[in-house]
Structure 1
Amino acid sequence: MSGNPMNIPPVSIAAAKAALIEQYADPVLRRRASMLWGTRGVGKSSIVRQVATHFKIPLIDLRLTTIEPVDIRGAIYADDTLAKTVWFPPEFLPPPDQHDGILFLDELTAADQRLQISAYSLILDRKVGNYRLPDGWQVIAAGNASFHGAVSHDMGTALADRMFHFNVQTVIGAFLDHAAEMNFAPEVMAYLKVRPDRLDDTQAQLSGDHLIGASPRGWEDISNVLNSGLSATAKRVFVQGRIGAANAAEFFGVLREIQAGADVVRLLAARPGAETAALLPKSLDALYGMIYGLLAASVDDTTLSRALEIIEQLPDIKGSTPLPIREAQTLSMELLMQRALSTGLEGAILDSPSYQRYAERRQRDGGDA
C-alpha cells in the first residue's frame, strides 16, 4: 500500500470487538476471515483474546514475524508405503477433532512475503498443503499499513477481497472506560481526560522522525510504573523512556498540578461541609485528578459513600477559572456506579442520600440518573 488507501470509516476498539463477537456467532460469516488494521498499541491483539474468552473457545495466536515459512506448511517426509513424499502439518494448527476456535494471524503485513503465501492460503482457502482448517474455526488477521509507520508489505486486492476489514482507531472514551475497569493509575486517566490528543501521537512521532512516542499500550505501561514501588527518580526515567522526553515533561507538569490541587486522602477524611469545600480542587487538571483518585479509592461501602458526598459538593468550588462542574458530577457518578456494579457495592449507591439528591436533580433537569 502506498499513501493512505484505507477507504473504510474508522471504528473504535470496542465496536470492533462487538462486531467480531457477532461474526463468530454466525456460522456462515465465521468462515470469512477478518482483518484488523491499526497503529501499534491500539489493542488489536487484546480484543481477539477477549472474543475467544467470551465464547470460551481455543485461541491459536501466531506471531508471523517469529516463525519461518516452513513452520506453517509443515515438514515433508518420504512415505515408503505410498511411494510419495507427504507433509506433516505443524502441531500448532488445530486438529480435525477440535471443531471450534479462532486462528489469529498477528503481524500479517510485516511477515516475510514467503510466509505470507502460506498464511494467505489459510485465509483464502482455509487450508495449506493437505491440511484443512476445521469448519468451526474463524481466521482473524491483524497488521499495520505503511502509513502507520510500521514495517509493512503490500496486500494485494485479491487477498483483500477475501476478508472483512476493520480500520481500528483509538477513541478516548472507550480507552478511559477500559482504563477504569483495569484500575489504571488515576493520574494517567486524569491526564488523558484533559489531554485526549496525547493518547496516541503516532503521526507527530513520524513527522518528527522520533523513535519513541505515546500509544495506548504505552500509557498502560506508564500506569504500571506509577503504581509500582519505584522511586520518583526511577519513575521519571521509565516514563521518559516509554513515551518520549516531550510527552513525559508535559505529563509530569500536569501531575504536579494534580498532586498540588487534589489531596484525595485528606478529602476522604474531611467532614462534609466547609471542611470539604476548603479542600476541593480549583483547576481542571486537579478536578479530574480528584475524580479518578476517588474512583481508585472507592473500595468499600464507606469510601464509596464518602466519595459520593464529595462529588455532591463540587458546586462549592470557588476559583478564578470556571470549571465544568455539572459535567464532572455526571462523569463521577457514572464512574462510581460502574465501579459499584462491578464490585458488588451498588447498595452503597442506592442508600446514599447524596446520590438520591443527584438523581432527583437529574430528573428535574430532564436527564436520566
Structure 2
Amino acid sequence: MTASVLALASSQAPAAQEPPANTWRMENATITAVPFVSELVDGKWVQRMPAKNGTLLEVHATLNVDGDGSFGPLSLSDVRLLSGAGAMPLAAELVAVGVGTVKCRYFPAQIDAGRPREAALGAGKEFVLRREDSQSPVLLRTRTPSLDLCMAFEVLGPPPPTLLWGIADRSLPLAVGSLALDFLPGPPLAQQTTDGDASTSRATPPTSGHLPVPWERALSSPLLWGGLALTAVAIVGGIAVLRMRRQTRNAPPGDAVSALDIPRVNTSHQPTAFARVQAEAGPGQRQFQDALAALRLEDWAQATELFGEAITAGLTPTFEAGAWGLRGEALLNCDDLIGASTCFLRALSSPGVTAEAAFPAASQLAAISSVERWMRTGSSHLMSAW
C-alpha cells in the first residue's frame, strides 16, 4: 500500500475575507453512516463516537477548483444537510472537517479562536480552518486544484433516505450509501507522537495509488466492507499471537517444534498488483455477512465455519480473498497457527487480492513466523522472562 504523510500544524496567517473568485465543483459526493470519525485533538488521534441514539454521517466528495485552486473562505455555519425533495434543513450538526481518500482524517469543526488548524498537503497547497474570535464562525480555506474533502455530521435517530448537501448556497445531491451501521467498526487509530509542542504532529492517512475511485468510496456500500473489518480483527489477531507465545513458554522445546508445521511463503504469495474491489459478493454473500457478524461478537469458531461456507457457496474473487484473510484471523484467535497461516497464504495468492486484504495477511504471517522462530530456539529462550 502507498501512504502519504499528512502534516497537521498551527499557523498564524491572517484570514482573507474576499469571496472565492474561482469556479468550483463537487464530484462523486457520497454520504455514509460511520461508527466513528478520527479527529486530531491536542496532537493525538482520537475517535469521536455518536451520542446515544445518534448517527454519524460522513460526506465524502472531490472538490475541484479552477484557476489557482483557491477556495473559500467558506463559513462552516453555512454548511448543512438538507432533507427530501423540498431541501428542508435537517437537524444535523457539523462535527468534523477533514481530508482523505480511502479513510478520512478530521479536525473538529469547532476550534478555538487564534488557533488555526492546517493540513499540509504538499508544496503550494493549503487546507486551513481558522476562527478569528469566539463570536466568529469557523472558516475553511483550501488551495489545490483537487481535494478529497470530508465532512462529518451527527443526527439524532435514523436519517431520512434522501439527503442533499447544502454548501456555499448550493444544494448538491448525495449518493446515499449505507445509512445503517451493519458493518464491523474499525479499531482505535494509533496514537501519534508530537514534535515539540502539542500544536504540531504528524500522521499517515491510508491512501493507495492502485485503488480506483469506487474503492476510495468503499464505505458508501455495505458490501464494500474492505479494510475496515480486516484491520479491526488484525489487531485482535495480533493479541492472539502474543497470547500463544506466553502459553508455550513452559512447553518442552521438542513438543513446541513438532506441534508446528507452518506453511512457507514463496513468490506466489507476494502480489505485485492489487485487484479492484467488486461491488457484489456472489452466491455466498449471506454467509459472508453472517461471518462478519460473528467476528463482531468475537465468536471465532462460528466465524471460521461461516467464512468456509461462504467460500464453498461461491464468492467473487475479491471477496474470496478477503474471506480467506478474515478466516485466518478467526483461526488465529482459536490458537490455530497452522490453519491461520494457510488461510493468510490463500488470501495472498488469490487473483482477487486487494491491498486491504494483503496488508493484514502479510503482517500476521510475519508475526506467526516470529512466534515459530521463538518456539524453535530451545529451552534457554523458552525459559526467558516474557
Work out whether the TM-score is over 0.5.
no
Taking structure 2 as the reference length, the TM-score comes to 0.29
More strand, by proportion? 2
More helix, by proportion? 1
Relative contact order: is structure 1 or structure 2 higher (C-alpha 8 Å, sep ≥ 6)? 2
Taking structure 1 as the reference length, the TM-score comes to 0.30
- Return the index of the structure with the highest Cα Rg: 1
